[in-house]
Structure 1
Amino acid sequence: MKQYSSLLTSLFLLLTFFVKGQTPQDSLDIKQVALDYIESQHNLKPEQFERAAHPRMVKRTFWTNKKTKKEYLRETFTDAMVLLAETYNQNGDKFPENPKKEVVILDIFKKTASVKLIADDWIDYMHIVKLNGKWQIVNVLWQFNDSKQH
């Protein structure tokens, strides 16, 4: 009976992987995409960002107009993020010595994933898609830990 139960459990787990379509390697690749996104800024490596992001990626946050005090959506695109990765931490003072970079995979379904990246001063929620065998970020919604900074 114990062998039968173990066999059924194994079969169930195997079928779960086939139904959802992702593999343990997909989880590793998705995590690496999120790390490439943040580490490109830590290490001034724009090529690392380009590897992580789809060319049509859009990054959004809410911002407050200083004069009117009205909030609005602010957008950034892949090309601006590549430039940011080249220059943002040029003096090595934008991040702590051991920066926080916690990646939480919220969900994976076949060729799409939702990820939360917890950094030192902000949180990024990412949508990541697998196109032509490669996982890439297509959407980012972020905010500072202290929303008054927006």
Structure 2
Amino acid sequence: MFCIFIVLNCLSQNTSDIDAIQKTALDYIEGWYDGDVVRMERALHPNLIKRMITNPNSEYSLLNELNKEKMINYTNAGGGKRIPKNSYKIEVKILDINNNIASVMTKSQYIDYLHLAKFNNKWVIINVLWDINKNKE
């Protein structure tokens, strides 16, 4: 199950762009949970960097990074399939769209802030900053 929210300032953007941005975000998050490499591959720019801060409340904080290849490998290995489907709800919220760039938040077991860009006439994810969703329903 998933929900989609669109912030009002995005409504002036072309409807086909909004649909494509939503589809890209869903390819990313549903592709992860379904172990669907085709969807994940389609969603990610070749130079993707996905980041997470570990130990944020200590003097030993680290910035962990994944690239597209690692994301595809983890997806193929079924990383997201280990989580039962009834234990999370997927939400996609478009935060902002400006011409050929967009910011999107996805919520599930995780919170992901996605930066997308229109690249070769296709919306793809360039950057992701993520963390565990401590307030999941």
Q: TM-score band (shorter)?
A: 0.7 to 0.9
Kindly, what percent of the aligned residue pairs are identical?
35
- Counterpart of 1:42 in structure 2 is 33
- Counterpart of 1:136 in structure 2 is 124
Matched length: 124
Q: Is 1:100 the counterpart of 2:89 in the alignment?
A: yes
Unmatched 5+ stretches in structure 2 = 1-10
Larger radius of gyration: 1
Relative contact order, higher structure (CA 8 A, sep 6+):
2
Larger strand proportion of the pair: 2
Aligned partners of 2:53 and 2:84: how far apart in 1? Answer: 22
Decide whether aligned partners of structure 1 residues 96 and 69 sit closer, same or farther in structure 2, where only a CA change above 3 A counts. farther
Tell me how large the CA RMSD over aligned residues is: 2.3
- Counterpart of 2:68 in structure 1 is 78
Q: Secondary structure at the match of 1:88?
A: coil
Aligned partners of 2:75 and 2:121: how far apart in 1? Answer: 25
- Write out aligned runs for 1:1-150 (5 A): 17=12, 22-64=13-55, 70-89=60-79, 92-97=81-86, 99-119=88-108, 121-146=109-134
Q: Are the counterparts in 2 of residues 88 and 94 from structure 1 also a CA contact under 8 Å?
A: no
Aligned partners of 1:98 and 1:118: how far apart in 2? Answer: 13
Q: Match of 1:107, as an amino acid? A: D
Post-superposition CA distance 1:31-81 (Å, at most 9, x none): 11111001112211111111000010000010139xx86111110000000
Unmatched 5+ stretches in structure 1 = 1-15
Q: Are the counterparts in 1 of residues 45 and 68 from structure 2 also a CA contact under 8 Å?
A: yes
Moved over 3 A (4+): none
